[in-house]
Homo-oligomer: A and B are copies of this chain.
Amino acid sequence: MAIIVQKFGGTSVANIERIKHVASLVKEEINRGNQVVVVVSAMSGKTNELVEWTNAVSDLTSHDSLKEYDSIVASGEQVTAGLLALTLQTNGLKARSWLGWQLGFKTDTTHSKARIEHIDRDAIISSLNDGYVAVIAGFQGITEENRIATLGRGGSDTSAVALAAALGAYQCDIYTDVDGIYTTDPRVVPKARRLNKIAYEEMLEMASLGAKVLQIRSVEMAMKHNVRVRVLSSFEPGEGTLLVDEEEVVERRLVTGVTYNRNEDQITLTGVPNTPGVAANIFAPLTEKEINVDMIVQNVSQSGDYTDITFTIPKADTKLAIEQLEAVKNNLGYNSLMVNENVAKVSVIGVGMRSHAGLAQKMFQTLADKSINILVITTSEIKISILIDEEYVELALRALHSAYGLDATKES
């Protein structure tokens, strides 16, 4: 008898009607002869409401305050878990809810973004063997101090994958409000296709670049423990997209997807003295404020004495970054600081890149054909990212999607 983990996000359990529908999906899985572990999020909107209340009474900077924050926000999943267990009972199944502290879902003490340390499997396995569906409150665990800790927004995905790994589940089905992972954003590119399979590494790049279907940590954990993860819709039937090991992606292709991100600004420092350690000096004051620097390019000027440094950072951090850099301007000795807010990053992703040359050239040629100017280029083993003027982003996405042969055919 195989264990299946099913995870349902906030929109899937948004109200009583949706919870009843979820119960029917659980029952289908039971009827297939599987043991089922269900992980649930809070009803959509509930976590936001709770977070707003905490913000109304605290700046949430102290460790003690984050312990309270966690205890408060974890209550949302507690409610959904109980309601789903009740609904399953009403449908004639044996079911019980499990909170993080009840099942021994142990985390470190990094409250509000805790990391999982260990999951006790015995109690759950014993309950499953007694014929119970285990309905688990996602997002939450317990610290060695006996306090509730939460895993950060989207943490229920990570709860589900970690449970699947700990329980040796056959598969972890993540039910959400989209029917799978697409080659690109279908709202921008109508010819976007749902992928049947995607490699963990590709999904990591997709997730971090803007396809916000799964929490990144859940993908990392799935990759680490080789958990088969399926992303599918709780609203409409369908096979969804299976996240698997690279070798399991049978249908070989060079490029898996094209993503974009409009949430970064480009900052350029000109006339920076070209001396050893200058890059470190520039980025130290940003790191100090936990500003994530993304794309970085350094151009050496002809003289060789001065250089220009360009990088991108999240829009939300731009003001702070400027303050930090202006405060050390004399020390760094740069000439000017320029901010470009009208940029977008477009990335082409695929494990196929490892073994195929010429994919970058195709990207540059495709954009050149559309007269799209490239501001910055960065590459990794399985992706090429370029920064372009924001107003060309839809055009670039469609052109690249076609150029790499990702467009849906009429049949598909």
Contact across chains for B89 and A79 when beta carbons are under 8 A apart: no
* A56 interface residue per 8 A CB criterion: yes
Q: Is A86 a contact of B58 with CB atoms below 8 Å?
A: yes
- Taking the closest CB of chain B, its distance from the CB of A205, in whole angstroms, is 37
Whether A86 lies near B101 (C-beta < 8 A) is no
Query: Which residues of chain B are near A95, meaning CB under 8 Å?
Result: 64
Dominant secondary structure at the A interface: helix
Instruction: Knowing A59-B90, A78-B75, say if A67 contacts B83 (CB, 8 Å).
Output: no
A68 in complex: contacting residue of B53, B62, B82, CB < 8 Å: B82
> Does A193 count as interface, using CB distance less than 8 angstroms?
no
Asked, given contacts A71-B97, A75-B78, whether A19 binds B86 with beta carbons under 8 Å apart, the answer is: no
A105 within 8 A of B: no
Please give the distance in Å from A65's CB to the nearest CB on chain B: 6
Q: How far is the CB of A48 from chain B (nearest CB, A)?
A: 14
- Contact yes or no, B86 A99, CB < 8 A: no
Is there contact, CB below 8 Å, between A86 and B102?
Answer: no
Q: Is the beta-carbon distance between B54 and A68 smaller than 8 angstroms?
A: no
Interface: A312 (CB within 8 A):
no
A229 at the binding interface (Cβ < 8 Å): no
Fill in one digit per residue for A85-101: 1 if any B CB lies within 8 Å of its CB, else 0. Answer: 11101100011110101
What chain B residues lie within 8 Å of A79 (beta carbons)? 50, 53, 72, 75
Cβ contact of A89, chosen from B50, B62, B71, B90, cutoff 8 A? B62
The answer to whether the Cβ of A57 comes within 8 Å of any Cβ in the partner chain is yes
Cβ contacts under 8 Å, A56 to chain B? 16
A94:B53 contact, CB within 8 angstroms: no
A335-369 interface mask toward B, CB cutoff 8 Å, 1 = contact, 0 = none?
00000000000000000000000000000000000
In the bound complex, CA of A20 to CA of B19 (Å): 35
Tell me if A96 and B67 are in contact (CB < 8 A).
yes
Residues of A participating in the B interface, judged by any CB pair closer than 8 Å: 16, 19-20, 50, 53-54, 56-60, 62, 64-65, 67-69, 71-72, 74-76, 78-79, 81-83, 85-87, 89-90, 94-97, 99, 101-102, 146-147
10 A-B contact pairs sorted by A residue (CB < 8 Å): A16-B56, A53-B79, A54-B86, A57-B83, A58-B87, A65-B86, A71-B78, A71-B81, A71-B99, A102-B146
